[in-house]
Structure 1
Amino acid sequence: MEKLSAIQCCGGEQLRFKHRSHSLNCDMTFSVFLPQDAQKTPVPVIYWLSGLTCTDENFVTKAGAQRFAAEYGVAIVAPDTSPRGDDVPDDPNGAWDFGKGAGFYVNATEQPWAAHYRMYDYVVTELPALISQHLPVDTARQSIFGHSMGGHGALTIALKNPGKYRSVSAFSPICSPLNCPWGEKALGQYLGDDRSAWEDYDTCTLLGKAQSHLPVLVDQGSADSFLVEQLKTDRLLRASTEHQYPMTIRMQAGYDHSYFFIASFIDEHIAFHANHLLWS
């Protein structure tokens, strides 16, 4: 694991690393904020999953999360959103909603994607193992959150791994990839034409299979231009009611899909996770 940068921030350090990923068969970068408390003892960790077109650096530079992570004494790990490199296939038409920057946090089974696009394994298994080996984090106390495609990733990963995370939250998540253009394009190519295989990565479907309940917080802006066609928050509301899965879903009036929205409520999300990481 190669350290690319270390910058003092809010009493702690904002770090960036590079490593060879065996899950993705390429070199990957990820960012980590370590609060000052990590100099004395391992700290709880929250994994942040970013959205379409992002890298590991968007959240780090735009969300303003470090101040609140420092206040609660928690680390934040931000991986990239897809495999990278010259050998990694990309959307043949150069579209921004598939391929590089759009891994959708799934394990691809179709060619040519299967050799590299295994972001689910990377986030759930490989990266946490690497973090626990090299950084002062307490892997027994971890949570996960994300935005848009990353909100989809956070919700599905948490639901598929009961007991691994203390809590999960999302900003503007893609709630049902089975029923939106972004999801149909990505899952259709990564997983093939059999839509039953897609159900493993659809939050609304997974709610019906859940054997236990995790604390969930979702924030969605009412002025989000992607709300109706792509995000389908109404389906999440119906699914949580139908399957009696309690979660807090908040429609925030006037907010859009941008990092201005995330920065406006990131303090409440970190406090939500800290409540379950530090005192539960």
Structure 2
Amino acid sequence: MSSPRGLYAYASLDAAGEAEQAARRMEARAERPASAAMFAALVLPLLRPGQVVVEVGCGSGGLARRIVAAHDDLEVWATDKSAGMLAFARRAAADAPARLRFSQWEAGTPWPAELPARADLVVSAVTTPYLDEPALRRLLAELRQRTCPGGHVLFLEQDLASATVAHPDPNLAERISSEHVRVKRPWQGLGLRRYVREAGFSLLPRQSFLWTDERFSPYLRDLMTRYADDAVLDGLPPAEAARFIAGLEALDAEGECYYGMVYHRVLARVPDETAG
């Protein structure tokens, strides 16, 4: 699967040599206030003392570190297919409790033997868009078997149609962003719910969160610079690309910078067939 324009090759970071760069951007995003607010709204209410939690596609480990800090006796396993990403995540978690462990696992392949046989909660944030449909279905079938009866599987998924960036020249911003329209797959965003239901889970009510960045943060600078660089490769004059970035810097100086995107919580429960 090819990487979306303007983004790192998340499906093949090690082969592309981009794991370290991608991890740094993920970590910068995890440090934004909106990241903590989204965790508090969509993830924290599901955490209970004594749970075994498995994260699929942990990236830089920011979410796993927040999870393990929520309760003193949570057991957390953070997994990712990228060895380079896991190396970064382990370094970032040097001061985290030993209850946080890492394991290399490619979503869509069999459950690793070193993971606990069952999890009370499985969490995945923006991993499914980088799977093809067969791998997604294999992952859901595996999670259906490996999540405890009555346990939950939580997906945090981006609504790409909601992505918005403020710019003094909206036509220039549109020209650059239109060159990088990501291929939307049927299982992205709330479309994932159908696949989850077909895998035998019980779906819980929808819940969404507006993630906003009101500074031209390191994460946003990296993202928008990559968009502009790709546009230059497609024929945009370099001066226009520079003007695009300068416009964002000017808004930041005025306190008017804005970037936003809606995240949907796709939450499912494994039916407890022993319940009366």
Give yes or no for TM over 0.5: no
Normalising by structure 1, report the TM-score: 0.32
**Which structure: larger Rg?**
2
Higher relative contact order (CA 8 A, sep 6+): 2
Normalising by structure 2, report the TM-score: 0.33
More helix by share: 2
